[in-house]
Structure 1
Amino acid sequence: MDILPLNFRILRYCGIWYELPEHLWLVKIVYKIFVVVVIFSFTLSELIELALTYDDLQNLTECLFLTLTFLALCFKMINFMCRQESLKALLNTFRDEICQPKTLEEKDIIEKNRSMLRLFCISYFSLGILSGSTLVFVPFASFKSSKIELPIKTYQPYDVEDFVLFSLTYFHQILSMYLGVLINVSLDMLVCGFIFLTCGQLDLCYYRIVSSNMYTMNNNIRHHAVTKDIVKKMQSFSIVVVVPLFIFSLITLCTSLFLMPEKEIMSFEFITLFIYLTCMLTQIFLYCWFGNELQLKVRKFAIARNN
């Protein structure tokens, strides 16, 4: 994958993205179904537990913040899997020959944007993995209790006191958490990555207009038209999940802020909530920051075009 390689590689490992004709397609379809069932069953068990504890404010708030996160993830996954053809069309638009750098200066412009995007991706992935790890390994930090409890409150139609059932449920929660973190962060950075790559194309178009190079006005007009087409396709792909994402994120932030004062400062539970809250704020910040960058690039290009 030549565009956003880290994101698409992780989505491929998680079984929900295949662009080219694949070998062992039946195995990969089964693996894809397995991943979807794992995440959606985990989300369903959280929703049932949330419905059963609606009259207990403490349990309700503890269940709510993670339930909404996985509910938003389910929306993202459905949108991603249903719009893969339009996503492939968007990738092919980025591969258009007019969008490729021709000179060393143009390559520097594109590489600068890709390097910054790579830094954001690695940092956000690291933060997400750290947050998920603290959530699933809470039981091993609770030495005060005589028995280990499940890290996440979910509904099970069986008795988890049994060691085998407890182990299977715990494995299901760990698997769901790490798959959820990888897919969630990949899909978030996919949208942000497309926005930033579009910013790079606007920078490239701006450079070609203001510099005296081999490009004619017709090529500049075509490049601008292709960039507008990219923005249109990107909005069509992302708008379905952005609005629910911000609604769920707002409720999750309020819930996390409600829970944190009840925990002892520097306790493991407090640190876990703090890291999780940092992830949520980073997620919102990235969407806003990349969106603002796109607006600034559009204004800069409009000024150059009118002059």
Structure 2
Amino acid sequence: MLTLNWKYTLRKNILMLQLLGLWPKEEKVYKLNLYSTYTFITTVVIMGGHNLFQILNICFVYKDLKALATTIFITSTEVLVSAKIYFFTQNIDTLKKLLRSLNQDSFQPKNEKQLELVNSILNFWKIVYGWFLFIVALTVIIWGIIPLLANSTGVKQLPFSAWYPYDSTVSPFYELTYLYQVVGMWYISMSNVNIGTLFYALLTYVVVQCDILCDNCKNLTIGQSSYNQRLTSCIKHHKEILSFAQNSNEVFEMVILGQFITSTIVIATTLFMLTLVDPLSKEGIIIAMYAVAIITEIFIYCWFGNQVHIKVSYFVIKNQKPISSLNGIVSYLRSHKVRVDTVLKFVG
């Protein structure tokens, strides 16, 4: 049996979460210390204040349909990210336990073939992570730069419409407010990316474990240990996969529900916004980039969720007979009251 450090794949993801104040180092949870103070500043002062001033702005622009739509389609996403961060930090201990559980022997690849299979899937997740991070980072950069180009005409604009208890068009308040909005936008975007991609990684781990389990089941007669011993190991592995999937689902189910609701609202509002501006204008480019980022986020989740369905269907097809080569295994599993298709609930 080989030993694979599953957490190593997530090292960049976890490092970013640590920089954002969302992942206490090592196996610790939030306590009254310097890191918790840093987390409070980033989440409450930077992100919370950034959201609050935009929400207050709705009270002043509700009569202007264009300004209202602009504020809502941005603020709704930012409020969702705030909710994501709340649920994420509340379940940080569970997430760390999930990652530690991957180190148990049953989750480890048993041979070079399985290791190669695992690495190919995990490498794909790395590509998706980098691609998604690039799209969001590019959107943030464009959003932060374009208002500066408009300032060359003498009109001082901020990246976001917001209400402040001072005149934000006067120096140095304008420069400080501009910096505050850019930092807030960067924090919210990076938090959203890294929380989302961590969940995609958990989906990927379920896919990988299904592949390992299927390969083990197909090779029950190969090896030095007895058939019953290997079959028992497969049953235990199956139960552990279900437990891992269920715990992951419990952590992120409300977040994903909110993501779909908010994304639907944002996409609809974005399309409406594009009818009010020239698609090739500065505003049009910003809105289009934002829409691409939102659609990409939903697409990635659906894609990884679909991969779980595909891998599970390899083991048993819902409402149909199991695959012929696994008839005996599935019958044995069912005789022990272990439902092979229960894992479908993870993405159902």
Q: Which residue of 2 aligns with 1:222?
A: 236
What secondary structure is seen at the aligned counterpart in 2 of 1:238? Answer: helix
Structure 1 stretches of at least 4 aligned residues deviating more than 6 Å after TM superposition: none
The 2-side partners of 1:210 and 1:3 are apart by: 27
Q: Which residue of 1 aligns with 2:298?
A: 284
Tell me, yes or no, if the aligned pair for 1:141 and 1:268 is still in contact at 8 Å: no
Coordinate RMSD, CA, aligned: 1.8
Q: Which residue of 1 aligns with 2:281?
A: 267
The 2-side partners of 1:207 and 1:245 are apart by: 35
Once the two structures are superposed, residues 264-294 of structure 1 have per-residue CA deviations (whole angstroms, 9 ceiling, x without a partner) of 2322221111111111111111111111111
Q: CA separation of 1:55/1:108 partners in 2, compared to 1, >3 Å: closer, same or farther?
A: same
Tell me, yes or no, if the aligned pair for 2:148 and 2:157 is still in contact at 8 Å: no
CA displacement at 1:95 relative to structure 2: 1.8
Q: Which residue of 1 aligns with 2:93?
A: 85
Q: Which residue of 1 aligns with 2:176?
A: 168
Larger Rg: 2
Q: Which residue of 2 aligns with 1:257?
A: 271
- One of 19, 23, 28 as aligned partner of 1:17: 23
Q: Which residue of 1 aligns with 2:213?
A: 205
Tell me, yes or no, if the aligned pair for 2:200 and 2:301 is still in contact at 8 Å: yes
TM-score normalised to structure 2 length: 0.84
Tell me, yes or no, if the aligned pair for 1:117 and 1:196 is still in contact at 8 Å: yes
The 1-side partners of 2:34 and 2:101 are apart by: 30
The 2-side partners of 1:16 and 1:143 are apart by: 35
* 1:259 partner letter: M
What secondary structure is seen at the aligned counterpart in 2 of 1:2? Answer: helix
Q: Which residue of 1 aligns with 2:319?
A: none
The 1-side partners of 2:250 and 2:258 are apart by: 15
The 2-side partners of 1:26 and 1:103 are apart by: 44
* 1:267 partner letter: S
Structure with the bigger RCO (C-alpha within 8 Å, sep 6+) is 1
Q: Which residue of 2 aligns with 1:301?
A: 315
TM-score normalised to structure 1 length: 0.94
CA displacement at 1:2 relative to structure 2: 2.5
- One of 64, 69, 91 as aligned partner of 1:56: 64
Pairing of 1:103-142 with structure 2 (within 5 A): 103-142=111-150
Q: Which residue of 2 aligns with 1:29?
A: 36
CA displacement at 1:59 relative to structure 2: 0.5
* 2:315 partner letter: F
* 1:106 partner letter: Q
Structure 1's unaligned 5+ residue stretches are none
CA displacement at 1:19 relative to structure 2: 4.2
Q: Which residue of 1 aligns with 2:258?
A: 244
The 2-side partners of 1:213 and 1:281 are apart by: 46
CA displacement at 1:3 relative to structure 2: 4.8
CA displacement at 1:213 relative to structure 2: 3.8
The 2-side partners of 1:145 and 1:63 are apart by: 24
* 1:41 partner letter: G
What secondary structure is seen at the aligned counterpart in 2 of 1:137? Answer: helix
- One of 14, 24, 35 as aligned partner of 1:8: 14
The 1-side partners of 2:152 and 2:41 are apart by: 36
Structure 2's unaligned 5+ residue stretches are 1-6, 317-321, 329-348
Q: Which residue of 1 aligns with 2:163?
A: 155
Tell me, yes or no, if the aligned pair for 1:19 and 1:88 is still in contact at 8 Å: no
The 2-side partners of 1:300 and 1:175 are apart by: 46
CA displacement at 1:144 relative to structure 2: 6.4
Once the two structures are superposed, residues 112-160 of structure 1 have per-residue CA deviations (whole angstroms, 9 ceiling, x without a partner) of 1101100100000000001111112221222663122111111111111
Q: CA separation of 1:54/1:306 partners in 2, compared to 1, >3 Å: closer, same or farther?
A: farther
The 1-side partners of 2:268 and 2:91 are apart by: 31
